[in-house]
Amino acid sequence: MHDFSKLQEAVLAGNSAAAVAAARQALSEGADPLDLVLHGISPAMAEVGRLFEAGDYFVPELLISARATKEVFVLIRPLLAKQGAQPTGRVVLGTVQGDLHDIGKNLVAALLEGGGFEVIDLGVSVSPEKFIAAVADKKAQIVGLSALLTTTLPAMKTTLDAFRSAGLRDRVKVMIGGAPVTQSFADTIGADGYGENAASAVQLARRLVGV
Amino acid sequence: MTTPQWETLLAVIRGEQLRRLPTGFIIDCPWLPNWAGHTILDYFTDERIWMGAHQKALAAFPDTMFLPGFWSEYGMCTEPSAFGATSSWNENDFPFAKKVLRTVEDVDRLEKPDVRKDGLLPFVVKRLRHLQPEIERAGHQIRFAVARGPLNIATFLMGTTEFLEALKTDPVRMHRLLTIIADFLVEWIAYQRECFPSIDGILMLDDIVGFVGKNDFLTFGLPYLQRVYSANVAVKFFHNDAPCKVAAPFLTQAGINLLNFGVQHSVNDMKTWTGGQITLLGNIPPRDVLAQGTPADVERAVTILVMGLQDRSRLVLSCGGGIPPGVPTENIRAFIAAVQKLGG
């Protein structure tokens, strides 16, 4: 097994340039790209999530670690594709229609990517039709719905209903999160999972895809 | 606020033990328009509806104080609009300000707005000016200058993710941005005070302070809060209902003497962290109890809060944040009645 400690240190420090350099060096020394994800990036982002939950890291630290991870993915994604490596799961993610807030969704996207998931980020104020089209097109196993406003919570139910009407509800797991969301709301609208915070979303997604 | 309410607030802030525990709530556009039977857009655009909604709330709940009182506002669009942010309005949703800074380099081109002319600021002032005689005839005074805080405005100008990332990747530009915003806020607050000499308080709202760690707060938060709160007023009121354990011990250094905080922390913990120097406005759960609970749930939450208090001074009982959408009349009444029953 290659030693990915330099890469992990760079991700934890949120140093994009150092992370890319460490990844390049590891690859040049023969490291397997999939190993780099599973044993380099994923544990580092899991540690970032742990530090965030423990109150040692805050949103800016999490964001720059995620940014470092993203830049490493730019480097290794073509190599993974060439190998035919499969992601842990494929997640379509977006903030529901009418809601223009993106911070929670971006944090979840970053941690999921760091956890080995392929994330299709649809952005903010996403219509049910757009979620459905993306899930069908990308063959995603999970759709993640985010909302910050109490007034946009009903759009989560509308989106779920649209999946039911389209006959796709049984083909995709739905996870929801955001400041006004509760487990009881998730149960009421029939979501498959609720993440209390960004860090818990990775565990939830793993559970939903049976990893 | 009426003069007795204002004097009560000042007495609580001085640390005086009152005969009754006071109650108070922040009321604004997330709750007031719909509660009063109007859409949010009608509330913003029709000054009779705006005035009537406030009067209806005051009449329905005479035994509590509403902060900041008659609040002229356009939600989160108020200050960003002055910087040129496009405001997006829906009939019954909160308005949203679109970003004006596409890249961090755009900060170099950002200009400080004219607080007398730009964006929605003249509309904020004019609404109060038009209705000031009526507000005063009702026995109230305009007591607070109100503004979103520097970090909060920065996130509306450039996006939350982009701003929080840039604190780490381009701190020099972020200081430049925050300096422009803080200079603007100083002038905006001074202008409100000039227009309404009865103002003797500042309410600033900034949840973003709760998103950053200690070093970032001390670097990018505290210095700008200190600058904006440097005005000589009796009440320096801060709202942050994101987690604020990190910032709490330093808030007195900005002169803050009244804090509305969220439900992540207990009143007792917050008293400890603020050294007992800040009057707390809180903190039963606003959404899960005040909005979605029954009156019995509200009474239970208030009882637990009051019975658990280690110190009843410097406290105004409220919810942890502003009143959220959908809070029914009977739950606010249950809150006030529960406090009165418990010796309030």
Residue B272 three-state SS: helix
How much of chain A exceeds pLDDT 70, in percent? Answer: 100
Looking at A63, A83, A103, which one is the last position of a domain? A83
Between CA B228 and CA B256 the distance in angstroms is 11
In this prediction, residue B215 carries a pLDDT of: 97
Domain count, chain B: 1
Nearest to B51 by CA among B71, B76, B27, B74: B71
Residues A101 and A188 in one domain: yes
Residues A170 and A98 in one domain: yes
Looking at A29, A63, A83, which one is the last position of a domain? A83
> Going by DSSP bridges, is the β-strand pair B96-97/B87-88 parallel, antiparallel, or unpaired?
antiparallel
Predicted model pTM: 0.91
Domain count, chain A: 2
In this prediction, residue B338 carries a pLDDT of: 96
In this prediction, residue B344 carries a pLDDT of: 56
Here the CATH number for the domain that contains residue A52 is 1.10.1240.10
CB-based contacts of B70, cutoff 8 Å, min separation 6: B51, B54, B128, B131, B135, B140, B142
CA distance B132 to chain A (A): 32
Mean pLDDT across B152-161: 94
Residue A208 and residue A142 in contact, taking contact as beta carbons nearer than 8 Å: yes
Between CA B47 and CA B125 the distance in angstroms is 12
Residue B302 has pLDDT above 80, yes or no: yes
In this prediction, residue B29 carries a pLDDT of: 86
What is the per-residue burial (b if ≥16 Cβ within 10 Å, else e) of B123-146?
A: bbbebbeebbeebeeeebbbbbbb
Residues A62 and A103 in one domain: no
Domain containing B179: what range?
3-341
CA distance B210 to chain A (A): 9
Residues A203 and A170 in one domain: yes
Residues A157 and A67 in one domain: no
pLDDT digits (tens, 9 = 90+) for A187-196: 999 999 998 8
A146 — contact with chain B (CB < 8 Å)? no
CB-based contacts of A33, cutoff 8 Å, min separation 6: A27, A76, A79, A80, A83, A85
**Most confident of the following: A65-79, A158-172, B115-129:** B115-129
pLDDT digits (tens, 9 = 90+) for B59-106: 999 999 999 999 999 999 999 999 999 999 989 988 989 999 999 999
Between CA A51 and CA A104 the distance in angstroms is 17
CB-based contacts of B329, cutoff 8 Å, min separation 6: B35, B60
Residues A35 and A97 in one domain: no
Q: Are B168 and A63 inside 8 Å of each other by CB? A: yes
Residues A23 and A51 in one domain: yes
Residue B319 three-state SS: strand
In this prediction, residue A38 carries a pLDDT of: 86
Q: Are B287 and A149 inside 8 Å of each other by CB? A: no
Residues A123 and A196 in one domain: yes
Distance, CA of B340 to chain centre: 25
- Element (H or E) spanning A209, and its range? none
Query: How many angstroms separate the most distant Cα atoms in chain A?
Result: 53
CA distance A86 to chain B (A): 29
Q: The tokens of A61 are what?
A: 């630290």
Residues A12 and A94 in one domain: no
Nearest to A209 by CA among A163, A165, A175: A175
Looking at A62, A83, A104, which one is the last position of a domain? A83
- CB A17: neighbour CB atoms within 10 A? 10
Mean pLDDT across B332-344: 91
Residues A100 and A189 in one domain: yes
How much of chain B exceeds pLDDT 70, in percent? Answer: 100
A64 — contact with chain B (CB < 8 Å)? yes
Average pLDDT, chain A: 91
Domain containing A14: what range?
5-83
Residue B262 and residue B285 in contact, taking contact as beta carbons nearer than 8 Å: no
Residue A32 has pLDDT above 70, yes or no: yes
Chain A hits for B245, Cβ within 8 Å: 55
Chain A hits for B242, Cβ within 8 Å: none
Chain A hits for B96, Cβ within 8 Å: 100
Residue A100 has pLDDT above 80, yes or no: no
Q: The tokens of B240 are what?
A: 């942050």
CA distance B107 to chain A (A): 19
In this prediction, residue A83 carries a pLDDT of: 85
Give me the helices (H) in B159-210, please. 160-169, 171-195
Nearest to A136 by CA among A104, A98, A92: A92
Cis geometry, peptide bond prior to residue B260 (ω within 30 degrees of 0):
no
pLDDT digits (tens, 9 = 90+) for B16-44: 989 899 999 999 888 999 999 999 999 99
CB-based contacts of B144, cutoff 8 Å, min separation 6: B67, B68, B69, B71, B199, B201, B202, B203, B235, B237
pLDDT digits (tens, 9 = 90+) for B283-298: 999 988 999 899 999 9
A116: phi > 0 → left, psi -120 to 50 → alpha, else beta; which?
left
In this prediction, residue A198 carries a pLDDT of: 80
What value of ipTM does the predicted structure carry? 0.91
Adjacent-strand bridge partners of B318: B283
Residue with tokens 């609040």: B71
Residue of chain A whose alpha carbon sits nearest to that of B160: A103
Between CA B180 and CA A49 the distance in angstroms is 34
Residue of chain B whose alpha carbon sits nearest to that of A57: B213
Residue with tokens 């979303």: A201
Here the CATH number for the domain that contains residue B157 is 3.20.20.210
Here the CATH number for the domain that contains residue A140 is 3.40.50.280
Query: How many angstroms separate the most distant Cα atoms in chain B?
Result: 57
Q: What is the DSSP string of B118-147?
A: STTHHHHHHHHHHHHHHHHHTTB---EEEE
Residue A148 has pLDDT above 90, yes or no: no
Q: What is the CA radius of gyration of chain B?
A: 19
Q: How far apart are the first and last CA of chain B?
A: 20
Chain A hits for B90, Cβ within 8 Å: 98
CB-based contacts of B56, cutoff 8 Å, min separation 6: B36
How much of chain B exceeds pLDDT 90, in percent? Answer: 93
Chain A hits for B164, Cβ within 8 Å: 59-60, 63, 103
Chain B hits for A100, Cβ within 8 Å: 88, 96
CA distance A79 to chain B (A): 28
Q: Are B168 and A59 inside 8 Å of each other by CB? A: no
CA torsion, points A26, A29, A34, A36, in degrees to nearest 10?
-20
- CB B36: neighbour CB atoms within 10 A? 18
State the Cα angle at B253 between B231 and B192, rounded to 5°.
20
* Least CB–CB distance from B161: residue in A100, A106, A150: A106
Q: Are A150 and B90 inside 8 Å of each other by CB? A: no
Between CA A157 and CA B160 the distance in angstroms is 26
